Chains A and B, each alone.
With several copies, the nearest count.
Chain A
Protein backbone atom coordinates (compact mmCIF):
# COMPACT_ATOMS: atom_id res chain seq x y z
CA UNK A 1 0.00 0.00 0.00
CA UNK A 2 1.18 3.53 -0.76
CA UNK A 3 0.22 6.55 1.26
CA UNK A 4 -0.38 9.54 -1.01
CA UNK A 5 2.32 12.21 -0.78
CA UNK A 6 1.96 15.97 -0.77
CA UNK A 7 3.42 17.51 -3.91
CA UNK A 8 5.92 19.65 -1.98
CA UNK A 9 7.20 16.57 -0.14
CA UNK A 10 7.59 14.73 -3.45
CA UNK A 11 9.58 17.61 -4.93
CA UNK A 12 11.86 17.59 -1.87
CA UNK A 13 12.90 14.01 -2.71
CA UNK A 14 14.70 15.15 -5.84
CA UNK A 15 18.33 16.25 -5.35
CA UNK A 16 20.09 18.88 -7.44
CA UNK A 17 21.55 17.50 -10.64
CA UNK A 18 19.26 14.46 -10.84
CA UNK A 19 18.34 12.84 -14.14
CA UNK A 20 14.59 13.15 -14.57
CA UNK A 21 12.44 11.25 -17.03
CA UNK A 22 9.37 13.45 -17.46
CA UNK A 23 6.23 12.25 -19.22
CA UNK A 24 4.21 14.33 -21.66
CA UNK A 25 3.97 15.42 -25.27
CA UNK A 26 3.81 19.17 -25.75
CA UNK A 27 2.60 19.35 -22.16
CA UNK A 28 -0.23 16.83 -22.64
CA UNK A 29 0.16 14.08 -20.03
CA UNK A 30 2.90 15.91 -18.11
CA UNK A 31 2.97 15.92 -14.28
CA UNK A 32 1.98 19.58 -14.00
CA UNK A 33 1.71 19.83 -10.21
CA UNK A 34 5.12 18.25 -9.73
CA UNK A 35 6.66 20.62 -12.28
CA UNK A 36 5.10 23.61 -10.51
CA UNK A 37 6.48 22.36 -7.20
CA UNK A 38 9.97 21.99 -8.68
CA UNK A 39 9.81 25.55 -10.02
CA UNK A 40 8.61 26.79 -6.63
CA UNK A 41 11.50 24.98 -4.90
CA UNK A 42 14.14 26.26 -7.32
CA UNK A 43 16.64 23.41 -7.07
CA UNK A 44 17.93 22.54 -10.55
CA UNK A 45 20.90 21.40 -12.58
CA UNK A 46 18.68 18.61 -13.89
CA UNK A 47 19.18 16.39 -16.89
CA UNK A 48 15.69 16.11 -18.33
CA UNK A 49 14.77 13.24 -20.64
CA UNK A 50 11.45 13.90 -22.35
CA UNK A 51 9.79 13.98 -25.72
CA UNK A 52 10.03 17.78 -25.93
CA UNK A 53 10.29 20.93 -23.82
CA UNK A 54 6.72 22.02 -24.65
CA UNK A 55 6.21 25.79 -24.87
CA UNK A 56 7.14 28.64 -22.50
CA UNK A 57 4.60 28.62 -19.67
CA UNK A 58 3.54 25.00 -20.26
CA UNK A 59 4.79 21.77 -18.67
CA UNK A 60 8.52 21.25 -19.05
CA UNK A 61 8.69 24.73 -20.60
CA UNK A 62 8.33 26.08 -17.04
CA UNK A 63 11.49 24.24 -15.98
CA UNK A 64 13.31 25.78 -18.94
CA UNK A 65 12.15 29.29 -18.03
CA UNK A 66 13.12 28.77 -14.38
CA UNK A 67 16.64 27.78 -15.44
CA UNK A 68 16.49 24.38 -13.75
CA UNK A 69 17.64 22.30 -16.75
CA UNK A 70 21.33 21.79 -17.50
CA UNK A 71 20.86 19.12 -20.14
CA UNK A 72 17.89 18.04 -22.21
CA UNK A 73 17.62 14.71 -24.05
CA UNK A 74 14.61 15.30 -26.29
CA UNK A 75 13.28 14.71 -29.78
CA UNK A 76 12.01 18.22 -30.43
CA UNK A 77 12.44 21.79 -29.18
CA UNK A 78 10.88 23.52 -32.18
CA UNK A 79 7.97 25.07 -30.30
CA UNK A 80 10.02 26.44 -27.44
CA UNK A 81 12.17 29.38 -28.54
CA UNK A 82 13.54 29.71 -24.99
CA UNK A 83 15.07 26.23 -25.19
CA UNK A 84 16.56 27.10 -28.56
CA UNK A 85 18.01 30.36 -27.22
CA UNK A 86 19.47 28.62 -24.16
CA UNK A 87 20.92 25.91 -26.37
CA UNK A 88 22.66 28.52 -28.52
CA UNK A 89 23.91 30.44 -25.48
CA UNK A 90 25.24 27.19 -24.02
CA UNK A 91 23.07 27.30 -20.90
CA UNK A 92 21.33 24.05 -21.85
CA UNK A 93 23.14 21.17 -23.47
CA UNK A 94 20.60 19.68 -25.90
CA UNK A 95 20.86 16.11 -27.14
CA UNK A 96 18.38 15.53 -29.98
CA UNK A 97 17.17 11.95 -30.35
CA UNK A 98 14.62 10.64 -32.86
CA UNK A 99 11.31 10.14 -31.06
CA UNK A 100 11.00 6.42 -31.74
CA UNK A 101 14.60 5.83 -30.76
CA UNK A 102 14.14 7.85 -27.58
CA UNK A 103 11.20 5.77 -26.41
CA UNK A 104 12.99 2.50 -27.24
CA UNK A 105 16.13 3.61 -25.40
CA UNK A 106 14.07 4.37 -22.30
CA UNK A 107 12.21 1.08 -22.68
CA UNK A 108 15.52 -0.77 -23.00
CA UNK A 109 16.67 0.88 -19.78
CA UNK A 110 13.48 -0.23 -18.11
CA UNK A 111 13.26 -3.83 -19.29
CA UNK A 112 16.93 -4.73 -18.93
CA UNK A 113 18.03 -4.79 -22.55
CA UNK A 114 21.62 -3.80 -23.27
CA UNK A 115 20.56 -1.91 -26.38
CA UNK A 116 18.44 -2.05 -29.51
CA UNK A 117 19.21 -1.89 -33.21
CA UNK A 118 17.34 0.56 -35.41
CA UNK A 119 17.67 1.84 -38.95
CA UNK A 120 16.33 5.22 -37.87
CA UNK A 121 19.10 7.81 -37.99
CA UNK A 122 21.37 5.91 -40.39
CA UNK A 123 23.05 8.34 -42.79
CA UNK A 124 22.08 11.32 -40.65
CA UNK A 125 23.87 13.29 -37.92
CA UNK A 126 22.26 10.86 -35.43
CA UNK A 127 24.71 8.20 -36.61
CA UNK A 128 27.76 10.12 -35.33
CA UNK A 129 29.75 8.30 -32.67
CA UNK A 130 27.51 5.26 -32.69
CA UNK A 131 28.34 1.61 -33.22
CA UNK A 132 26.88 0.21 -36.47
CA UNK A 133 25.89 -3.45 -36.29
CA UNK A 134 25.14 -5.60 -39.30
CA UNK A 135 22.37 -8.19 -39.07
CA UNK A 136 21.71 -10.44 -42.04
CA UNK A 137 23.27 -7.94 -44.43
CA UNK A 138 21.39 -4.89 -43.16
CA UNK A 139 23.03 -2.08 -41.21
CA UNK A 140 21.58 -0.73 -37.97
CA UNK A 141 22.56 1.79 -35.32
CA UNK A 142 23.15 0.39 -31.86
CA UNK A 143 21.18 2.60 -29.49
CA UNK A 144 21.92 2.21 -25.81
CA UNK A 145 19.59 2.36 -22.81
CA UNK A 146 18.55 5.48 -20.95
CA UNK A 147 17.56 5.41 -17.29
CA UNK A 148 16.64 8.14 -14.84
CA UNK A 149 17.17 8.73 -11.16
CA UNK A 150 13.51 9.72 -11.09
CA UNK A 151 10.55 9.29 -13.40
CA UNK A 152 7.92 11.99 -13.01
CA UNK A 153 4.79 10.74 -14.67
CA UNK A 154 1.15 11.70 -14.98
CA UNK A 155 -1.83 9.33 -15.01
CA UNK A 156 -5.59 9.45 -15.27
CA UNK A 157 -6.15 7.41 -12.14
CA UNK A 158 -4.31 5.32 -9.58
CA UNK A 159 -5.24 2.98 -6.77
CA UNK A 160 -3.41 2.81 -3.44
CA UNK A 161 -1.29 -0.06 -4.72
CA UNK A 162 0.08 2.38 -7.31
CA UNK A 163 -1.61 0.78 -10.32
CA UNK A 164 -2.07 3.37 -13.06
CA UNK A 165 -4.47 4.05 -15.93
CA UNK A 166 -3.85 6.66 -18.62
CA UNK A 167 -6.15 8.68 -20.85
CA UNK A 168 -6.10 9.06 -24.67
CA UNK A 169 -3.03 10.97 -25.91
CA UNK A 170 -1.88 11.52 -22.33
CA UNK A 171 -0.30 8.04 -22.39
CA UNK A 172 2.69 8.98 -24.55
CA UNK A 173 6.00 8.44 -22.69
CA UNK A 174 4.50 7.86 -19.23
CA UNK A 175 4.08 4.04 -19.24
CA UNK A 176 7.59 3.46 -20.57
CA UNK A 177 9.22 5.94 -18.19
CA UNK A 178 7.55 4.17 -15.24
CA UNK A 179 9.86 1.23 -16.02
CA UNK A 180 13.13 3.08 -16.27
CA UNK A 181 13.92 5.08 -13.13
CA UNK A 182 15.23 4.26 -9.68
CA UNK A 183 12.33 6.17 -8.14
CA UNK A 184 8.97 6.64 -9.81
CA UNK A 185 6.67 9.47 -8.71
CA UNK A 186 3.20 9.32 -10.22
CA UNK A 187 0.77 12.21 -10.36
CA UNK A 188 -2.74 10.84 -10.95
CA UNK A 189 -5.79 13.02 -11.47
CA UNK A 190 -7.62 10.80 -9.02
CA UNK A 191 -6.91 7.94 -6.64
CA UNK A 192 -9.33 5.02 -6.38
CA UNK A 193 -9.71 2.34 -3.70
CA UNK A 194 -7.69 -0.83 -4.23
CA UNK A 195 -9.71 -3.20 -6.40
CA UNK A 196 -11.52 -0.42 -8.26
CA UNK A 197 -9.25 -0.65 -11.30
CA UNK A 198 -9.86 -3.96 -13.11
CA UNK A 199 -6.64 -5.96 -13.68
CA UNK A 200 -7.06 -5.70 -17.47
CA UNK A 201 -7.25 -1.89 -17.29
CA UNK A 202 -3.94 -1.46 -15.47
CA UNK A 203 -1.26 -0.11 -17.80
CA UNK A 204 1.45 0.42 -15.19
CA UNK A 205 1.54 -2.19 -12.40
CA UNK A 206 1.71 -0.61 -8.95
CA UNK A 207 4.94 -2.42 -8.12
CA UNK A 208 6.71 0.06 -10.38
CA UNK A 209 5.43 3.14 -8.57
CA UNK A 210 7.28 4.39 -5.49
CA UNK A 211 5.35 7.54 -4.65
CA UNK A 212 1.83 8.62 -5.41
CA UNK A 213 0.84 12.27 -5.31
CA UNK A 214 -2.27 13.27 -3.42
CA UNK A 215 -5.24 13.64 -5.70
CA UNK A 216 -6.16 17.07 -7.03
CA UNK A 217 -8.29 19.21 -4.76
Chain B
Protein backbone atom coordinates (compact mmCIF):
# COMPACT_ATOMS: atom_id res chain seq x y z
CA UNK B 1 0.00 0.00 0.00
CA UNK B 2 1.50 3.36 -0.92
CA UNK B 3 1.66 6.35 1.42
CA UNK B 4 -1.36 8.10 -0.06
CA UNK B 5 -3.58 5.07 0.25
CA UNK B 6 -2.56 4.57 3.88
CA UNK B 7 -3.45 8.20 4.60
CA UNK B 8 -6.76 8.09 2.73
CA UNK B 9 -7.78 4.83 4.44
CA UNK B 10 -6.96 6.18 7.87
CA UNK B 11 -8.77 9.47 7.31
CA UNK B 12 -11.83 7.54 6.09
CA UNK B 13 -12.21 6.20 9.64
CA UNK B 14 -12.74 9.76 10.88
CA UNK B 15 -15.86 10.12 8.73
CA UNK B 16 -18.95 9.31 10.77
CA UNK B 17 -22.55 8.70 9.83
CA UNK B 18 -24.58 11.83 9.09
CA UNK B 19 -21.62 14.14 8.59
CA UNK B 20 -21.30 16.93 6.04
CA UNK B 21 -17.74 16.64 4.74
CA UNK B 22 -15.58 18.69 2.41
CA UNK B 23 -12.67 16.89 0.75
CA UNK B 24 -9.89 18.98 -0.77
CA UNK B 25 -8.50 18.33 -4.22
CA UNK B 26 -5.84 15.63 -4.67
CA UNK B 27 -5.03 13.25 -1.83
CA UNK B 28 -8.00 14.26 0.36
CA UNK B 29 -10.46 13.43 -2.44
CA UNK B 30 -9.25 9.79 -2.29
CA UNK B 31 -10.88 9.43 1.13
CA UNK B 32 -14.29 8.97 -0.50
CA UNK B 33 -13.09 5.68 -2.01
CA UNK B 34 -12.57 4.03 1.37
CA UNK B 35 -15.77 4.76 3.29
CA UNK B 36 -17.65 1.80 4.77
CA UNK B 37 -20.97 1.16 3.03
CA UNK B 38 -23.04 1.84 6.14
CA UNK B 39 -21.77 5.39 6.56
CA UNK B 40 -24.31 7.86 5.17
CA UNK B 41 -22.55 11.16 4.57
CA UNK B 42 -22.97 14.18 2.33
CA UNK B 43 -19.92 15.47 0.54
CA UNK B 44 -19.85 19.18 -0.10
CA UNK B 45 -17.78 20.89 -2.75
CA UNK B 46 -17.22 24.57 -2.12
CA UNK B 47 -18.23 25.47 -5.68
CA UNK B 48 -21.79 24.67 -4.73
CA UNK B 49 -23.10 21.15 -4.41
CA UNK B 50 -24.10 19.21 -1.31
CA UNK B 51 -24.30 15.55 -2.15
CA UNK B 52 -21.37 15.14 -4.50
CA UNK B 53 -21.34 11.73 -6.14
CA UNK B 54 -18.82 9.66 -8.06
CA UNK B 55 -17.53 10.48 -11.53
CA UNK B 56 -20.22 10.08 -14.18
CA UNK B 57 -19.98 7.30 -16.77
CA UNK B 58 -18.34 8.49 -19.98
CA UNK B 59 -20.79 10.41 -22.13
CA UNK B 60 -22.98 11.34 -19.15
CA UNK B 61 -20.96 14.33 -17.97
CA UNK B 62 -22.76 17.63 -17.38
CA UNK B 63 -20.85 20.85 -17.97
CA UNK B 64 -22.68 22.41 -15.02
CA UNK B 65 -21.83 19.74 -12.45
CA UNK B 66 -18.21 19.65 -11.35
CA UNK B 67 -16.23 19.53 -8.14
CA UNK B 68 -14.06 22.36 -6.85
CA UNK B 69 -11.21 21.13 -9.02
CA UNK B 70 -13.33 21.35 -12.15
CA UNK B 71 -13.69 17.56 -12.55
CA UNK B 72 -17.05 16.13 -13.62
CA UNK B 73 -19.08 14.60 -10.80
CA UNK B 74 -22.59 13.32 -10.20
CA UNK B 75 -25.17 14.28 -7.58
CA UNK B 76 -26.61 11.73 -5.17
CA UNK B 77 -30.38 11.54 -4.52
CA UNK B 78 -31.23 14.34 -2.10
CA UNK B 79 -28.46 16.60 -3.37
CA UNK B 80 -28.82 20.38 -3.23
CA UNK B 81 -27.38 23.10 -5.45
CA UNK B 82 -26.22 26.17 -3.57
CA UNK B 83 -24.54 29.42 -4.54
CA UNK B 84 -21.17 30.54 -3.21
CA UNK B 85 -22.73 32.70 -0.48
CA UNK B 86 -24.58 29.70 0.94
CA UNK B 87 -21.62 27.39 0.36
CA UNK B 88 -19.29 29.56 2.42
CA UNK B 89 -22.08 30.43 4.82
CA UNK B 90 -22.16 26.72 5.67
CA UNK B 91 -18.36 26.56 5.90
CA UNK B 92 -17.75 29.70 7.94
CA UNK B 93 -20.91 29.20 10.00
CA UNK B 94 -19.75 25.90 11.45
CA UNK B 95 -22.21 23.71 9.55
CA UNK B 96 -19.46 21.65 7.96
CA UNK B 97 -18.68 18.72 10.24
CA UNK B 98 -15.29 18.00 8.77
CA UNK B 99 -12.87 19.21 6.14
CA UNK B 100 -9.90 17.23 4.89
CA UNK B 101 -7.10 19.29 3.38
CA UNK B 102 -3.51 18.92 2.32
CA UNK B 103 -0.74 20.68 4.22
CA UNK B 104 2.67 22.21 3.64
CA UNK B 105 3.44 22.64 7.36
CA UNK B 106 1.75 22.10 10.70
CA UNK B 107 3.34 23.38 13.88
CA UNK B 108 3.28 22.72 17.62
CA UNK B 109 0.42 25.19 18.10
CA UNK B 110 -1.59 23.12 15.65
CA UNK B 111 -1.50 25.90 13.09
CA UNK B 112 -1.56 24.96 9.42
CA UNK B 113 0.21 26.53 6.45
CA UNK B 114 -1.05 25.21 3.16
CA UNK B 115 -1.62 27.94 0.62
CA UNK B 116 1.60 29.61 -0.44
CA UNK B 117 5.37 29.46 -0.58
CA UNK B 118 6.53 33.06 -0.86
CA UNK B 119 8.49 33.65 -4.03
CA UNK B 120 7.74 30.18 -5.36
CA UNK B 121 4.08 29.26 -5.36
CA UNK B 122 1.29 31.81 -4.96
CA UNK B 123 -1.83 30.01 -6.15
CA UNK B 124 -4.16 31.90 -3.82
CA UNK B 125 -5.98 30.59 -0.80
CA UNK B 126 -9.21 29.72 -2.61
CA UNK B 127 -11.54 28.38 0.06
CA UNK B 128 -8.80 27.07 2.38
CA UNK B 129 -8.81 29.93 4.88
CA UNK B 130 -12.58 29.74 5.34
CA UNK B 131 -12.49 25.96 5.60
CA UNK B 132 -9.79 25.96 8.26
CA UNK B 133 -11.32 28.87 10.18
CA UNK B 134 -14.88 27.56 10.04
CA UNK B 135 -15.22 23.76 9.85
CA UNK B 136 -16.03 21.88 13.04
CA UNK B 137 -13.13 19.46 12.47
CA UNK B 138 -10.09 20.13 10.32
CA UNK B 139 -8.11 17.04 9.33
CA UNK B 140 -4.82 17.56 7.54
CA UNK B 141 -3.94 14.67 5.26
CA UNK B 142 -0.36 14.84 3.98
CA UNK B 143 2.78 12.83 3.50
CA UNK B 144 4.99 13.09 6.56
CA UNK B 145 8.00 14.74 4.93
CA UNK B 146 8.70 16.75 1.80
CA UNK B 147 11.91 15.49 0.07
CA UNK B 148 13.10 14.26 3.45
CA UNK B 149 12.39 17.57 5.18
CA UNK B 150 9.94 17.52 8.11
CA UNK B 151 6.57 19.19 7.50
CA UNK B 152 5.57 18.96 11.15
CA UNK B 153 7.64 21.73 12.63
CA UNK B 154 8.08 23.74 15.85
CA UNK B 155 6.61 26.87 14.23
CA UNK B 156 5.38 27.35 10.68
CA UNK B 157 7.80 29.34 8.55
CA UNK B 158 5.27 29.64 5.74
CA UNK B 159 2.30 32.04 5.95
CA UNK B 160 -0.50 30.55 8.05
CA UNK B 161 -3.87 29.53 6.66
CA UNK B 162 -5.75 30.45 9.81
CA UNK B 163 -5.30 31.20 13.51
CA UNK B 164 -7.06 27.99 14.42
CA UNK B 165 -5.72 24.81 15.95
CA UNK B 166 -6.52 22.01 13.56
CA UNK B 167 -8.10 18.80 14.83
CA UNK B 168 -5.90 16.01 13.48
CA UNK B 169 -2.85 15.30 11.33
CA UNK B 170 -2.83 12.06 9.37
CA UNK B 171 0.32 11.00 7.52
CA UNK B 172 1.55 7.63 6.30
CA UNK B 173 3.75 7.49 9.42
CA UNK B 174 1.50 8.79 12.17
CA UNK B 175 -1.74 10.15 13.51
CA UNK B 176 -1.01 13.26 15.56
CA UNK B 177 -3.48 15.30 17.56
CA UNK B 178 -2.77 18.95 18.24
CA UNK B 179 -3.83 19.88 21.78
CA UNK B 180 -3.39 22.83 24.06
CA UNK B 181 -0.31 21.09 25.47
CA UNK B 182 1.20 20.37 22.07
CA UNK B 183 1.26 17.65 19.44
CA UNK B 184 0.25 14.27 20.84
CA UNK B 185 1.33 11.19 18.90
CA UNK B 186 -1.72 8.94 18.84
CA UNK B 187 -0.88 6.24 16.32
CA UNK B 188 1.99 5.09 14.17
CA UNK B 189 1.74 3.84 10.60
CA UNK B 190 1.99 0.16 9.62
CA UNK B 191 5.44 -1.08 10.62
CA UNK B 192 6.61 2.36 11.74
CA UNK B 193 8.23 2.92 15.15
CA UNK B 194 7.78 5.88 17.45
CA UNK B 195 11.46 6.68 16.99
CA UNK B 196 11.10 6.79 13.23
CA UNK B 197 8.21 9.26 13.55
CA UNK B 198 10.25 11.43 15.91
CA UNK B 199 13.19 11.44 13.50
CA UNK B 200 10.96 12.56 10.62
CA UNK B 201 9.37 15.32 12.72
CA UNK B 202 11.15 18.49 13.81
CA UNK B 203 8.33 19.52 16.17
CA UNK B 204 8.30 18.16 19.70
CA UNK B 205 5.92 15.20 19.95
CA UNK B 206 4.17 14.26 23.17
CA UNK B 207 4.42 10.47 23.39
CA UNK B 208 2.05 8.84 25.85
CA UNK B 209 2.26 5.30 27.22
CA UNK B 210 0.25 3.63 24.53
CA UNK B 211 0.81 4.45 20.89
CA UNK B 212 -1.26 2.16 18.74
CA UNK B 213 -0.65 1.11 15.20
CA UNK B 214 -3.10 2.69 12.75
CA UNK B 215 -6.21 0.81 11.85
CA UNK B 216 -7.00 1.19 8.18
CA UNK B 217 -10.43 1.21 6.58
Say if the two chains contact directly (CB < 8 Å).
yes
Binding site for B on A (CB under 8 A): 1, 25-29, 51-52, 55, 74-79, 84, 87, 96, 98-101, 103-104, 107, 110-113, 118-126, 156, 159-161, 163, 166-176, 179, 194-195, 197, 199-200, 202-203, 205-208
A126 touches B129 (CB 8 A): yes
A75 touches B126 (CB 8 A): yes
Task: Give chain B nearest CB distance to A205 CB in angstroms.
Answer: 4
User: What are the 7 closest A-B residue pairs judged by CB atoms, nearest first?
Assistant: A78-B123, A100-B88, A111-B89, A123-B163, A195-B77, A100-B130, A112-B92
Given A98-B130, A171-B84, A173-B84, are A199 and B95 neighbors across the interface (CB < 8 Å)?
A: no
Q: Knowing that A120-B133, A199-B81 are A-B contacts, what are 12 other residue pairs whose CB atoms are under 8 Å apart, sorted by A's residue number?
A: A25-B48, A75-B125, A84-B122, A96-B124, A119-B163, A123-B111, A124-B162, A161-B78, A170-B63, A171-B84, A195-B78, A207-B90
For the complex, give the distance between the alpha carbons of A113 and B85 in Å: 12
Given A111-B89, A169-B49, A179-B93, are A99 and B126 neighbors across the interface (CB < 8 Å)?
A: yes
User: How many of B's residues come within 8 Å of A, CB to CB?
Assistant: 54
Measured between beta carbons, the chain A residues less than 8 angstroms from B84 are 25, 51, 99, 103, 171-173, 176
A74 touches B124 (CB 8 A): yes
Binding site for A on B (CB under 8 A): 20, 40, 42, 45-51, 62-66, 68-70, 75, 77-86, 88-95, 111, 122-130, 133-134, 159-163
User: Which single member of A118, A159, A169, A208 contacts B65 (CB below 8 Å)?
Assistant: A169
B162 touches A120 (CB 8 A): yes
Of listed A77, A118, A205, residue having the most chain B CB within 10 A: A205
Task: Give chain B nearest CB distance to A11 CB in angstroms.
Answer: 22
Task: Give chain B nearest CB distance to A173 CB in angstroms.
Answer: 5
B88 touches A99 (CB 8 A): yes
Task: Give chain B nearest CB distance to A82 CB in angstroms.
Answer: 13
23 contacts between A and B (CB under 8 A): A74-B124, A77-B123, A77-B124, A98-B130, A99-B46, A99-B84, A100-B129, A101-B130, A103-B88, A104-B88, A110-B93, A112-B92, A118-B133, A121-B129, A124-B163, A168-B81, A171-B83, A171-B84, A172-B47, A173-B83, A194-B78, A195-B78, A207-B42
